A and B are shown apart, each in its own frame.
Chain A
């Protein structure tokens, strides 16, 4: 106990130096925690955008559909057997049907993608329904109502309530054509939806395309998205032999997955740099202290303190130093992160909203504070400090008591 007290006192023999060191270490830790939470928050936002707007965490198709996008690569029977097979708590599934065609209103017409969904299931899987710019969302699997992207609505010059003619080549070769009414217009949430998606009830699209009770995709969202890889493996096992493919968002948006991985590497590099600098601070402090206290060390050694105890003492001082820094740094880091988690960090001053893999990404970053991140930073910090203190500690332990005593210091 006395040794802790002694170490604590030693620390404050040079108040200014210790305070500077503590500041540096706290700052390093604070920055680390904040950066980790910002990056984590950004990652979560990206993944959220990628999955919750339309893709879902997992998609099931007939094998090959993801590559071919062939309307004849469908699942029959409304995908009921697969929907039943994947049913489990914490998992929501929604069937979809896709096609392409021509949308026309008055003098304006353009090629569009036709998306058929089950609105009741869809709202449990994606947030499409909550990104309405105006009007309402679809309510039923059938009916002549559509919701479409903002830019598409602008280029067709249609508004809520207007008529929209859809013309398509049906699966039996006939010319599918029907009049629809615009029920709602979606916000700009992604290029694909924005420029070209006309969304309607799945049964309605099935009728138009002459693909009744057919499904091209079953989108799945998980209550715990971080479990996505495990769930994918499970579903693949359950659905084995049914001729389907089970894809996660990582396979659907490989660019996003790669970007997140690259970010992770940058994080480690930055971690290394910040803590490297902090450890230099520790090294400097301890070395300076050693030079100042050469006589003192000589004295205690002459009195019989073993070299190992000297090492112990210096490491203990370092530990105390880093503990104080941890408290201050963690407080700063957690405080700032929590603030940015609640209020977000608006980057619109630096850049306009950007689009990545066709997904519009918000300019406001919300931090996400993860306890693992905080703990990892703290442990890293303490370990790095101790490692940095080793050299001065060994140097002190190797002092020759007699010559140390005669040092002017």
Chain B
């Protein structure tokens, strides 16, 4: 399910620290990043997730199958509920297509709709496409290291480069020092106002990796709403190639 985390939460590179040996001394944010980046290449995964969405007016739960290859390719297919069964999203580099089985049409999401909700959740289409560019779009700094809230943590502050086309003014990533498991990501706008919080919990082992199996996204202006993604199954190093991430497979 690592792949799915990547698809929806672009900044979860920290995950991949999990499988690396502990650092000796204090690593710089850049060092952490470089290691993750190296580990990501060619990585493939598949799994099943449940996405619960709670808003002021409704709540629902979607189950979906997900596949991914590196940072550039991912495919998501909804398996339940029945009304949305077969609805699928394909991401190839910076492009997103949605497949709608009811009308048997594929729609390419235009740039103007990148900030729109993805499948009714609090994640946006932008969250899917921006992950590939995250490394290039931000500069990093280890902004805190030590005890906070009873836990030893690293806090990495990510500031977008001036030329980067990103929506956030700042992203703060909080990682558990001991095993480098991420705890939280905080997203701020350009005025420094907190826009949303992504929290990670329920650390589980999937094969040779240990990752938080639940990601909860809460918009700061609507604290009663949330989108929670739970990874039911997750498998790494599966046998897929680029051809798998095609419009043909999107419809299948």
Contact = CB atoms under 8 A, between A and B. Distances in A.
B60 A109 contact: no
A167 B107 contact: yes
Given A72-B57, A102-B107, A104-B105, A175 B113 contact: no
Given A110-B110, A167-B98, A174 B120 contact: yes
Contacts of A169: 116-117, 120
Contact of A174 (B60, B109, B110): B60
A107 B106 CA distance: 9
A382 B83 CA distance: 78
A95 B89 CA distance: 36
Contacts of B102: 177
A167 B53 contact: no
Interface in A69-125: 72, 102, 104, 107-111
B84 A179 contact: no
Given A109-B108, A110-B110, A173 B100 contact: no
Contacts of B119: 175
A107 B95 CA distance: 12
B107 A172 contact: no
B110 A111 contact: yes
A175 B103 contact: no
A178 interface: yes
A3 interface: no
B59 interface: yes
Nearest to A170: B120
A177 B102 CA distance: 8
Contacts of A107: 108
Contacts of B55: 173
A174 B83 contact: yes
Given A104-B108, A109-B108, A172-B58, A177 B113 contact: no
A165 interface: yes
A13 to B, nearest CB: 78
B50 to A, nearest CB: 15
B100 A111 contact: no
Contacts of B98: 167
B156 interface: no
Contacts of B110: 102, 108-111
Interface residues of A, number: 19
Nearest to B120: A173
B24 interface: no
A179 B107 contact: no
A173 B58 contact: yes
A171 interface: yes
B223 to A, nearest CB: 18
Contacts of B105: 104, 165, 177, 179
A222 to B, nearest CB: 35
Contacts of B108: 104, 107, 109
A110 B111 CA distance: 8
Contacts of B103: 165, 177-179
A102 B96 CA distance: 13
Contact of B109 (A109, A171, A173, A179): A109
A119 B249 CA distance: 41
A179 B100 CA distance: 11
B112 A111 contact: yes
A102 B98 CA distance: 11
B211 interface: no
A111 B107 contact: no
A111 B87 contact: no
A278 B84 CA distance: 78
Given A165-B107, A167-B98, A102 B116 contact: yes
B156 to A, nearest CB: 33
Contacts of A111: 110, 112-113, 116
Given A167-B98, A173-B60, A174-B84, A102 B120 contact: no
Nearest to B98: A167
Nearest to B112: A111
B30 to A, nearest CB: 37
B55 to A, nearest CB: 7
Contact of B107 (A72, A104, A178): A104
A357 B234 CA distance: 54
A69 to B, nearest CB: 15
B107 A109 contact: yes
A216 to B, nearest CB: 15
A137 B14 CA distance: 56
A174 B83 CA distance: 8
A185 B57 CA distance: 35
A171 B83 CA distance: 14
Interface string A10-31: 0000000000000000000000
Contacts of B83: 174
Most buried by A among B56, B60, B87, B116: B116
Most buried by B among A102, A107, A165: A102
Contacts of A110: 110, 112-113
Interface in A152-185: 165, 167, 169, 171-175, 177-179
Most buried by B among A172, A173, A174: A173
Interface of A: 72, 102, 104, 107-111, 165, 167, 169, 171-175, 177-179
Interface of B: 53, 55-60, 83-84, 87, 98, 100, 102-103, 105, 107-110, 112-113, 116-117, 119-120
Given A174-B84, A177-B105, 8 more contacts: A108-B110, A165-B107, A171-B57, A173-B57, A174-B60, A174-B83, A175-B100, A175-B120
12 contacts: A102-B109, A102-B116, A109-B107, A109-B113, A167-B100, A173-B53, A173-B57, A174-B83, A174-B84, A177-B102, A177-B103, A177-B105
What are the 6 tightest A-B residue pairs by CB atom distance, in nearest-first order? Answer: A104-B107, A173-B58, A177-B100, A173-B120, A173-B60, A109-B110
